[in-house]
Copies of this chain bind each other. A is one copy, B any other.
Amino acid sequence: MLDASNQSDTRERLLRAATEVFAEHGFEAATIREICRRAGANVAAVHYHFGDKKRLYTAIFDTVFALLRARRTAFLAPDAPPEARLHNYISALFDEIFYCDGDARRCTQLSAIYLTEMLHPTEVLDRVAADHMRRDAEELYGIVGALLDEKADSETVVDCAASVVGQILYYYHAEAMISRLHPDRPPVQERIDELVDHVWHFSLGGIKQVRSRRQANDEPALIE
């Protein structure tokens, strides 16, 4: 209203509202009118500030990627014990997806956007993969590779890394089913620390098992 920074006031409100709505409904199901309603802006504001719906969508990633990178808990040094690095990695990923407070909320919403987009990808997902995911993957491959005593790009490493990440993403993608099968249990947000420890122990045991299987080639070791 009064200050010169007003220049981007509605633009900023639009970005925040758009992040919310896109996170809740996905790109196609989200409507410009809903976004503008939450932003307290006119429908024409989207065209004025961003051009069209798709460019508003991509603009979100421009502004929030930097925020997400900055907030991301720094990975532990490569010379730290791989078990500790794994615990740190699992905790960081849980936080990125579920920790929902203050400014971190937009990161959580951004995570929701690309986690949703993974089911119906657009070209934006290519940027997410290249700019954001690849580095995370390399870090995890390094950790798992150290635990397996293997090269970081072997198939075994990639499969074990998938087993780790899959356990975490499950609590996001299957939340609706979990709450229906266990309506009594507290939501994920309230047991993050507990879940981090569980996934950590489970993954360490899994990796250990895979490693011993690789060494003494095939020997289920547990079956009878």
User: How far is A175 from B175 in the complex, measured between Cα atoms in Å?
Assistant: 19
Q: Which of A28, A171, A222 counts the most B-chain CB atoms under 10 A from its CB? A: A222
- Near B by CB (< 8 A), chain A positions 177-213 give 177-178, 180-182, 185, 195, 198-199, 201-210, 213
Q: Select the residue from A121, A155, A176 with max chain B CB neighbours within 10 A.
A: A176
Closest Cβ of chain B to A194, distance in Å, is 8
Residues from chain B with a CB closer than 8 A to the CB of A116 are 119
Q: What residue in chain B is nearest A81 (Cβ atoms)? A: B224
Which residues of B lie under 8 Å from residue A29 when comparing CB positions?
28-29, 120
Find the residue from A158, A175, A206, A220 having the highest chain B CB count within 10 A.
A206
Say whether, besides A159-B195, A174-B165, A203-B206, A223 and B118 are in contact (CB < 8 Å): no
- Cα–Cα, bound, A120→B27 (Å): 13
Q: How many residues of A contact B (CB 8 A)?
A: 64
**Is A25 interfacial (CB-CB < 8 Å)?**
yes
User: Which applies to chain A's interface (DSSP): helix, strand, loop or mixed?
Assistant: helix
In the assembly, what is the distance between CA of A188 and CA of B173, in Å? 19
Q: Check A181–B118 contact: CB distance below 8 A.
A: no
By the criterion CB–CB under 8 Å, are B26 and A120 in contact? yes
- Tell me which of B130, B180, B206, B224 contacts A83 (CB under 8 A): B224
Interface string of A102-129 (1 = CB under 8 A from B): 0000000000000111111100011011
Check if A177 sits within 8 Å of B220, measured CB to CB. no
| Residues of chain B with a CB closer than 8 A to A163's CB | 167, 170, 198-199, 202
Closest to A159 in B: B198
Contact of A169 among B134, B173, B198 (CB under 8 A): B173
The 6 listed contacts between A and B (C-beta, < 8 Å) are A116-B119, A125-B177, A159-B195, A201-B210, A204-B223, A208-B222
Taking Cβ atoms with an 8 Å cutoff, the residues of A that contact B are 25-26, 28-29, 81, 83-84, 115-121, 125-126, 128-130, 133-134, 137, 155, 158-160, 162-163, 165-171, 173-178, 180-182, 185, 195, 198-199, 201-210, 213, 220-224
